[in-house]
């Protein structure tokens, strides 16, 4: 994978912490966004990173901070998003901001499958794909072993997300999403 010049990660300090840390180590510069300062600081130690302790539900504050980061470090070229559906206006605003850039960026949108099947729903987030926003979706599923199902571990999630970024597929499923009835 080519090291990103300016990496943006929103929501990467929980289950995505190991993947975030790995990406920050590769990146020339990084901007990390999460609600809590502790998780941000642990990840930021691994590289040159600007940390923003902002709840992504506060859309205007977040966008203003991202604009400042972009002015300081240049356009984002790799973006990892774990923005829940409860913050769709924030997702829209972030992708609109990315669409304003002159340079293109790859956006990896991590989606959970606990409540819905994101591979079968009409995904309005794909509408954002254009010449500047190369939209990719990473769907988190479950594991079915020896007749028993379980949700993915954080390590499995991080490995899958990093594989998705390295592979660059339009959609990458980590684990399984079907049959729906076999979910834990």
For 152-183, the pLDDT digits (tens) are 999 999 999 999 999 988 889 999 988 888 88
Q: Is the peptide bond before 179 cis (omega within 30 degrees of 0)?
A: yes
Taking CB atoms within 8 Å and a gap of at least 24, the contacts of 38-41 are 39/13, 39/14, 40/13
Q: Where on the phi/psi map is residue 74: left (φ > 0), alpha (ψ -120 to 50), or beta?
A: left
180: closest CA among 109, 122, 121, 114? 114
Mean pLDDT of the chain: 88
Instruction: Tell me the mean pLDDT in the region 145-156.
Output: 94
Instruction: Tell me the mean pLDDT in the region 126-149.
Output: 85
Residue-level pLDDT at 82: 93
Instruction: Tell me the mean pLDDT in the region 136-148.
Output: 92
């Amino acid at each position: 994978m080519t090291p990103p010049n300016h990496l943006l990660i929103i929501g990467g300090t929980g289950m995505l912490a190991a993947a975030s840390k790995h990406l920050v180590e590769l990146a020339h510069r990084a901007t990390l966004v999460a609600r809590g300062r502790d998780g941000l600081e642990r990840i930021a130690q691994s590289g040159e990173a600007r940390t923003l302790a902002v709840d992504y539900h506060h859309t205007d504050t977040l966008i203003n901070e991202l604009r400042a980061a972009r002015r300081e470090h240049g356009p984002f070229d790799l973006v990892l998003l774990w923005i829940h559906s409860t913050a769709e206006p924030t997702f829209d605003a972030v992708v609109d901001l990315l669409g304003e850039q002159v340079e293109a960026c790859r956006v990896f949108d991590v989606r959970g499958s606990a409540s819905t099947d994101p591979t079968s729903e009409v995904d309005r987030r794909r509408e954002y794909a254009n010449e500047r926003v190369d939209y990719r979706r990473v769907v988190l599923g479950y594991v079915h072993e020896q007749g028993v199902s379980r949700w993915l571990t954080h390590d499995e999630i991080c490995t899958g997300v990093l594989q998705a970024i390295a592979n660059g597929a339009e959609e990458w499923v980590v684990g399984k999403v079907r049959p729906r009835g076999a979910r834990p």
